[in-house]
């Protein structure tokens, strides 16, 4: 019974939050839009706040919050920015549920700010459903990194909107929540390579950057040493260098995400009018390569790849806002592409959460306690 009700709750969150976000981003009255956006943040964050322990990370955060400075559970490996926020909420007398609620509100808030910033050129419904079927439920456990990812996503988008200093400062802020956010400073290199160059040169630069990142990924010991040098933390270097076969398959992984990878390739012709999409495209592909390593090897490099796979919120949102052309002929209408992407993410969400139990969030803990 608890599992059935959990299914209904999670599906309600995914579908209703997606539809309300889509309506809020397109409604003309700003007041109505703001009220709906606040409602989305409050409702979705309330569900996260009371989820209890959903993995080792959430257990650690509860321990840290309740025991404070007396806790020695990875205390010295938690970033100062996150600890400062935790200490502030605790000193104000808030429970750990309030802290979870606030962190989730910030995470969803930054994602919605990203969607709002790009809403003129993306399909808002697709962008929202990607978030609420993926990163949102990831945040039930890895909420610290999820917050850093959401900040970095917004930072990358405004960086390409000529707000470079603000974007870099936000990445540095995110790094004080999770050191792995430093990887997003690659955007500076990407901007230098692609800015003010013609399409042919951009393609060459895309290929060069892609090969360079592949080299680092394939030489993970070197990449791990770089990470340790930048962060000064062996723990995060271990994200990359740890290596042990898990029994997974690269072939199965790429077949599973084939729709995500194939669709952006069909829209390469559109990127010339939005040059930063070239950089986002390359980074997203590299993110999925990192994630494939995490799926097959017992390495946390996939966690770093999440900073770039999350770019699919913007990339696929952009693709689903345009028809697919071959030559001058429309081959697939954007509505069909949108339906396929929407259905794919709903299906993968159901498989990952309720069949494979990937997120370890079934059943929803309050329901478990109620039905026991």
What is the torsional sign of CA 82, 160, 285, 318? positive
Closest by CA to 106, choosing from 78, 144, 79, 77, is 144
pLDDT at position 133, please?
A: 97
Query: Which residues of the chain carry a pLDDT beneath 70?
Result: 68-76, 189-190, 192-210, 212-248, 294-300, 367-372
pLDDT at position 75, please?
A: 47
Contact 321, 122 (CB under 8 A): yes
Q: Which letter, b or e, does each residue of 213-233 get, where b requires 16 or more Cβ atoms within 10 Å of its Cβ?
A: beeebeebeebbeebbebbeb
Peptide bond into 321 cis (omega under 30): no
Per residue in 179-218, pLDDT (tens digit) is 889 888 877 766 766 665 555 665 566 666 667 666 665 6
Can you tell me whether residue 325 is helix, strand or coil? strand
pLDDT at position 130, please?
A: 97
* DSSP 8-state symbol, 28: S
Residue 280: exposed, middle, or buried by beta-carbon count in 10 A (0-12, 13-18, 19+)?
buried
pLDDT at position 69, please?
A: 56
pLDDT at position 277, please?
A: 86
Residue 245 corresponds to which tokens in the numbers above? 């076969």
pLDDT at position 365, please?
A: 79
Instruction: Write 286-295 long-range contacts (CB < 8 A, 24+).
Output: 286/210, 286/213, 286/214, 286/217, 287/311, 288/257, 288/260, 288/261, 289/213, 289/214, 289/217, 290/217, 291/253, 292/250, 292/253, 292/254, 293/217, 293/220, 295/246, 295/248, 295/250, 295/253
Per residue in 212-263, pLDDT (tens digit) is 666 665 665 666 666 666 656 565 555 555 554 455 677 788 888 888 888 9
pLDDT at position 258, please?
A: 86
How many angstroms separate the CA atoms of 134 and 61, rounded?
Answer: 21
How many angstroms separate the CA atoms of 203 and 272, rounded?
Answer: 10
How many angstroms separate the CA atoms of 61 and 32, rounded?
Answer: 35
């Amino acid at each position: 019974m608890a599992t059935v009700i959990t299914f209904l709750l999670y599906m309600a969150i995914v579908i209703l939050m997606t539809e309300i976000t889509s309506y809020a981003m397109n409604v003309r009255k700003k007041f109505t839009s703001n009220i709906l956006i606040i409602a989305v943040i409050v409702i979705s964050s309330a569900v996260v706040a009371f989820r209890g322990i959903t993995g080792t990370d959430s257990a650690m955060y509860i321990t840290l919050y309740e025991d404070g400075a007396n806790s020695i559970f990875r205390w010295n490996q938690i970033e100062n920015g996150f600890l400062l926020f935790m200490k502030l909420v605790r000193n104000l007398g808030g429970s750990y549920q309030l802290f979870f609620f606030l962190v989730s509100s910030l995470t969803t808030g930054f994602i919605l700010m990203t969607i709002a910033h790009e809403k003129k050129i993306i399909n808002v419904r697709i962008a929202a459903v990607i978030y609420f079927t993926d990163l949102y439920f990831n945040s039930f456990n890895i909420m610290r990194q999820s917050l850093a990812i959401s900040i970095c996503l917004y930072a990358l988008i405004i960086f390409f909107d000529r707000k470079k200093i603000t974007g870099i400062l936000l990445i540095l802020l995110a790094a004080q929540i999770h050191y792995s956010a430093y990887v997003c400073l690659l955007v500076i290199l990407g901007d230098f390579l692609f800015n003010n160059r013609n399409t042919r040169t951009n393609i060459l630069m895309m290929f060069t950057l892609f090969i360079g990142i592949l080299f680092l990924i394939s030489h993970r010991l070197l990449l791990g040493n770089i990470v340790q040098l930048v962060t000064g933390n062996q723990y995060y270097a271990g994200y990359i260098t740890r290596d042990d076969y898990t029994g997974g398959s690269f072939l199965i992984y790429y077949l599973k995400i084939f729709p995500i990878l194939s669709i952006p390739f069909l829209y390469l012709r559109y990127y010339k009018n939005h040059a930063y999409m070239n950089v986002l495209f390359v980074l997203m592909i590299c993110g999925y390569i990192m994630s494939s390593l995490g799926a097959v090897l017992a390495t946390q490099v996939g966690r770093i790849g999440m900073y770039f796979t999350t770019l699919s919120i913007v990339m696929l949102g952009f693709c689903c806002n345009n028809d697919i052309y071959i030559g001058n002929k429309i081959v697939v209408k954007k509505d069909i592409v949108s339906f396929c992407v929407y259905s794919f993410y709903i299906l993968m969400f159901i498989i990952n959460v309720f069949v494979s139990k990937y997120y370890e969030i079934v059943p929803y803990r309050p329901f478990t306690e109620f039905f026991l």
